[in-house]
Structure 1
Amino acid sequence: MRKIKRKRKIQNKKRQTARSEDFIMKPSVDWCFKELMRNPKTRKGFIAVLLQVKPEEIDETILLENELPKEAEEEKKGILDVHVCLADGVQIDIEMQVFYVEYWDERLLFCLSKMYAGQIKAGESYRILKKCIQVSVLNFERFPDDDFCYRTVHFWDEMAGKKYTD
């Protein structure tokens, strides 16, 4: 009887080991996504694909603190999944969102605005401001009326039909 129990225990351990070795964490899991983005080569390749440029065209990507600073205690805090700065000063916020979040658009605009405004201090010229890019990787249907999987949004003047930003 003892031999049988011992044999079953060994077989169970082998099965558990095999299962854990076959386990692959999905990159849509928040922790997994952030860990992938910690790798400079992976991060550079991902950003190159998003910006539609060759990886060689991206000199450097620096992982920044993901918590946007508050100027006052009563201010709302902004926390980004992955906050990156390119060699030319361009900042990128990359968000992975699996489930629908109410006020998603407002949240993105808030974080993007906070990133942009956080570049400049009193007395500095607006000329120092660099472009900020927000990337959302969504696993929910944000625009049910179309099937585009990639879109670019700009700040537009509707009357003149001109965009303010690139």
Structure 2
Amino acid sequence: MLSVRPKVAELAFHVFSRSLHPELYTLQQRRKYERNDYELQVDITNCGHVLTWKGAGMLVCEVATSAHQPLPKRRCLLSRPLKGSRTERVECRGNVTYKTHFQLEPVEPDMFWMVQEQLGSDQTEGLLHRFDASGRMALGAISYVNVETRQKSVLVQAIHTFPDDYAIVKVETVIAIDDQ
């Protein structure tokens, strides 16, 4: 199966208070993390990523995907085009705080290939997927997701490259259970 990226102009960012059915996206890589107070599933998909966090009686699902991807409307906490640079915060029940910063960054070809090469080098931690070349470029896109878990919080950093557009998507998300 060919696994290439959509165009960057077609990207969207969503956060739900529900899980997504796995048939809604094409899974490339998956890793699960478990702590005493929460669990996190990280999926690299054909378009970006899906994070599903469960803890403190709350479920938070972050999706970076194509704007054309059919997604549910119910229990959507946040829906934005993935353009420019943006910071968002959502206070959830169960004293759960969701914070994210995402940006779409067009870069010069030299800088793009340097980042692409660094990401593609053997990573010892995190989740990495190399996509097939689109035909226009010799190398395919790369998705890299790094997760740092703490007792009551998790930091997720995702980087997705788009060779056809010389663009990089960076997402940094923190989900925390606040003691009160």
The TM-score bracket by the shorter chain reads: under 0.3
- Which has the higher relative contact order, 1 or 2, with Cα contacts under 8 A spaced 6 or more apart? 2
Between Structure 1 and Structure 2, the one with more strand by share is 2
